[in-house]
Amino acid sequence: MYMVELRGKLSQRIEGQEDILTSNVFSFFKYANRQVFLKGFLSKLLGIQVSDEEAENAEFSFWTRYDDRTEPDLVITVGDHYLLVEAKFRSKFNVENEEERSQLSREVKGGSLEARNLGKKFYIIALTADFSYKPENFQHVEEQLQLHNFKWINWQGICGFLLETVEQESLPSTTWLFCQDLCRLLDKKNLRSFRDFMGVLGGKPKFAYPAEIFFASETATFRGGFIGFQATLSYLERMNESPHRVFFQCRPLFADLLQGNKLEQFREHIFFSKEAQWRKARLLNRRN
């Protein structure tokens, strides 16, 4: 399914469906090395610690249906935890109205009941494409979510986790290629966030600063158009020093008005009234 999207063989309407994205991402966590990816995902993004055995025995239930016909996108039962994931891509969480309770409210009710029956600890996880947490998305269920173990994550965080893991872990080539295709798919959907240099280095030795930035142009076989001012000027003959000054001093072009002869006072008006001039013109016309 990855390749058909990466090659642009699906319509934009289908590519934008969050169910397709949820299936692609979490199917990877289901089938890839769980001790590396699923366990790391739970620990780093959700703060939930599980053992290798619990990760291997985790159960994935996509679009399970409760008694009221509510269908959360994914339920992961792992260890003592019951994780309900509601994923959004381009759509928003619907709000409660007079006819129907909100989606999250119904999922909290059905999921917490199911977790209680299984003897598990209930978590509800909201997964969105927002770069940061937006409280306005959960105002209608804020009080209800505070009573449960509510967590928010985004697709960008999942992509960053996958990139970090594939760079640091020694993985089989097939798993590495599988993960790379998933990261390319998330990148194609603009769900890859910026990683700073410290994150890319991941504890590796820092970059060694070169002694010289520009190479020796005299011995280079191939080079680009610009090779640096120092290397470029090395081809030219050294200029002899000028025996005379390059810059010279001249007299000031402007004199201070307060020095020398003072300005005589102007005894007439500088500005005149347009109305007064008009009256004066009328008076002259009458005399003539």
Given a cut of 90, is residue 268 above it in pLDDT? no
Residue scoring higher pLDDT (283 or 182): 182
Q: What is the pLDDT of residue 1?
A: 61
Q: What is the mean pLDDT of the chain?
A: 80
84, β-bridge pairs: 75, 124
Closest-CA residue to 161 (of 28, 9, 1): 28
Q: What is the pLDDT of residues 156-195, one digit of tens each?
A: 999 999 998 888 878 888 898 989 989 988 988 888 887 7
Distances in whole angstroms, Cα of residue 166 to Cα of each of 36, 159, 160, 174, 206: 10, 11, 10, 12, 20
Position 215 scores a pLDDT of: 59
Res 41: pLDDT: 95
For 67-76, what is the mean pLDDT? 91
Task: Give residue 161's pLDDT.
Answer: 92
Section 98-127 average pLDDT: 87
Strands 149-154 and 121-128 come out as: parallel
Give the pLDDT mean for 224-239.
64
Cα(184)–Cα(191) distance, rounded to whole angstroms?
10
Question: Using an 8 Å Cβ cutoff, are 49 and 39 in contact?
Answer: no
Most confident of 98-107, 118-127, 215-224, 238-247: 118-127
Q: Say yes or no to pLDDT of 148 above 80.
A: no
| Distance between CA atoms of residues 67 and 83, nearest Å | 18
pLDDT at 283: 76
Judge contact between 166 and 178, C-beta under 8 A. no
